[in-house]
Structure 1
Amino acid sequence: MIAKDLYNHLEQDFRLSICDDDWSEMQMSSYITEQYQQRYMGLVTDNSDKIDYVYTAVFPSAEVIGKIISDNRKNVLLFLHHPMDFDINRMPVFTDIPLKTLKTFKERNISIYNLHAPLDANGKFSTTCNFAAALGIEMTGEFYKYHKVKIGVIGKTSYKIIGELQKRFENAVGHSVKLYQYGDATINGDKVALVAGGGNDANIYPFLRDMGINTYLTGIARKVEAYPPSVEAHSAAKECEINIIAGTHYSTEKFACIKMVEFFAQFGVPGEFVPGIPCMEDI
């Protein structure tokens, strides 16, 4: 497919014009498009006039990059939810794609496209909507504005007890998740709230309490004494008697990137999701 046509579909379908984002911590080089350096969304590197295959991934981790290079394809698009790799154990937690990788990508006609806030915005392919769907939760509302768009989901679950929902969560992501039980073990009114990724924000919990919701599912929920916002979030959850179930940044956002393979397929471009490794210290 002609690359510009595919990028136009992404631009329009994900409404980049109504979003903003900020990846100013990225190292900007001659490989990065001028447009991306201005708005931090869309085409990161422009290395091919046509796209024959697409890889989707949550982060540009070493595993993801290694898979793409070893496949030895050309005229490829790497679609990323984040333009930088993430590890909560490092400082800074986000790190750049190595320049040598960007050089290799240019030589092999591998372009990079990034949608962070636009993919978080609730919709068919979004992070939280697909996270909810993976847990069998029916969306009934939305909340929590981020970069001008709403990314949180309020939904109905068939589970009555948080332990049962915790098990469903673990089955969906394929590993253990962590429960912080600050409220009643019974899910209030069959309603839960979700924000995929890094959604442990102290401002969320009073809103959920006022909505009659006592169970919140997210990605990152690690309490770090040296990081005051995490301490404040847990204090607010405890005060509001909201249970938190956390399943890592990567695992709660991977469902959107899996779904994105369908987006590209509708334009006749085959592709695959490239798995990463969840950072269990997130929870």
Structure 2
Amino acid sequence: MVQLRKIEKDLNDLFKISELEQDPAFGRFIPRVYDPIEFDWKSTFEKDFTSRFNGLMIRGNDEVRTVYMAVFPTDQVLESFIDNANEGDLLFMHHPLLMECGDPRGESGRGFVPIKEHYLQEIKEKRLSIHTCHVPMDYHKEIGTNMAIAEALNATVIERFLPYNNTGHVGLICEIPTTNTENLADHLKETFDIPYIDFEGVQQKEIKTVAIVAGCGDSVEDMKDAEVRGAQAYITGEIHCHIDNEYGRKKYKEMMQYVPDTNMSLMGVSHSASEYLVMKTQMSKWFQEQYPQLNIELIPQHRWWL
């Protein structure tokens, strides 16, 4: 067993959570999602989390035997955690909210949706814990969502781009072993365990330089920036916004207007799969090295395109 407060401190130190006063994304989205349904999230979540929106979100028993890891709090992920965890166990995730991003070959998503209240009640009753780390994991220079992808591609980081809130960069420009669009797509499908990628742009006969932006990468301006920096392929979670609302349709239209002008291969591997890789590789290794007495359990989503 390991004390929760030690794991909490070690994770906060690793990702320098105290240096980010407030997560820019979830500082907006958590109130936007919970306030309209009149859910008292400020009392439900840990006090520091309700101002910082990273770190320990729910505190259970202080003796941890097993750490579970996932990306989004989907119903499937939370049910698996609640059903299998013992008192004191910890769920470590990248996101504190579910984001339905949509399936390029299926249904559109709803965007951010709240965790169902009964799951939160069951987690508290069972004295389980949840810790989440969002943007500090995206811009971390060693263990992070983007660095895990670079590692899987045997890539060398040339430069970092896409500055985020004056705290770090959430994009990488990398050199990879020479390949082409078809082979790179096959590699990505295997790496992320996905049935297909979302693709736009040009089929390249030779690719040596790629941009990596884990998560939501459907920004025309960011893609233009990457291409200026020499990227021949742009690897991200989402190249299109498949959310069924006015914002989603606007973003999709902007991207389709840009696509004919790019010379890059644009490759989306799903938002969740792009950010799960760090859990599967780097974070699993980190937990095992830090706490060899703990059990480590991964909770992959049944559907990566969600």
TM-score, with length taken from structure 2: 0.83
Structure 2 equivalent of residue 14 of structure 1: 15
Q: Does 2:191 correspond to 1:178?
A: no
Q: Are positions 1:134 and 2:152 aligned together?
A: yes
Is residue 215–residue 236 contact of structure 2 (8 Å, CA) maintained in 1? Answer: yes
1:87·1:94 contact (CA, 8 Å) conserved in 2? yes
1:176/1:238 CA distance change after superposition, 3 Å: same
Deviation of residue 168 (structure 1)?
0.8
Contact 1:159/1:165 (8 A) holds in 2 = no
Do the aligned partners of residues 241 and 72 (structure 1) sit closer, same or farther apart at CA in structure 2, a change above 3 Å counting?
A: closer
For the Cα contact (< 8 Å) 1:197–1:252, is it kept in 2?
yes
Deviation at 1:119, TM superposition (A): 1.0
Deviation digits for residues 147-184 of structure 1, max 9, x if unmatched?
43212111112233211111111111222112212x46
Which residue does 1:266 correspond to in 2? 289
Task: Give the deviation of 1:91 after TM superposition.
Answer: 6.3
Number of the residue aligned with 1:277: 302
Letter in 1 for 2:125: E
- Corresponding residue of 2:170: 151
Is this contact kept in 1: 2:101–2:241, CA < 8 A? no
What percent of counterpart residues are identical?
Answer: 22
**1:208 corresponds to 2:233:** no
| Code of the aligned partner of 1:107 | E
Is 1:161 equivalent to 2:180 in the alignment?
A: yes
Q: Secondary structure at the match of 1:75?
A: coil
Letter in 2 for 1:178: D
Aligned mates of 1:265, 1:279 — CA distance in 2: 25
Report if the CA contact (8 A) 1:249-1:278 is conserved.
no
Shift of residue 111, structure 1, vs aligned partner: 0.7
Letter in 2 for 1:5: K
Cα distance in structure 1, aligned partners of 2:126 and 2:158? 45
**CA RMSD after TM alignment:** 2.1
Partners of 1:177 and 1:167 in 2: CA distance: 9
Residues 262 and 233 of structure 1: CA distance in aligned 2, closer, same or farther (over 3 Å): same
**2:29 aligned residue:** 25
Deviation sequence 1:215-249 (CA, Å, 0-9, x none): 11111122568532333234335324222011111
**SS where residue 208 of structure 1 aligns?**
helix
- Tell me: CA distance 1:240–1:91, structure 2 relative to 1, closer, same or farther (3 Å): closer
Could you tell me whether the CA contact under 8 Å between 1:45 and 1:111 is conserved in 2?
yes
Q: Which residue of 1 aligns with 2:253?
A: 231
Q: Quote how far apart the aligned CAs of 1:41 are.
A: 0.8
**CA displacement 1:164-205 (0-9 Å, x = unmatched):** 111111111222112212x462345x1111101101211112
TM-aligned CA deviation for residue 252 of structure 1: 1.0
Aligned residue for 1:255?
277
Q: Does 1:82 align with 2:102?
A: no
Asked whether 1:222 is paired with 2:245, we answer no
CA contact (8 A) 2:192 2:277 kept: no
Give the structure 2 partner of residue 195 of structure 1.
213
Distance 1:129 1:233 in 2: 26
Please report how far the alpha carbon of residue 17 of structure 1 lies from its aligned counterpart in structure 2 after TM superposition: 2.9
CA distance in 2, matches of 1:140, 1:56: 30
CA contact (8 A) 2:182 2:203 kept: no
Residues 217 and 238, structure 2, Cα contact 8 Å, conserved in 1: yes
> Do the aligned partners of residues 272 and 3 (structure 1) sit closer, same or farther apart at CA in structure 2, a change above 3 Å counting?
same
- Is contact 2:204-2:264 (8 Å) kept? no
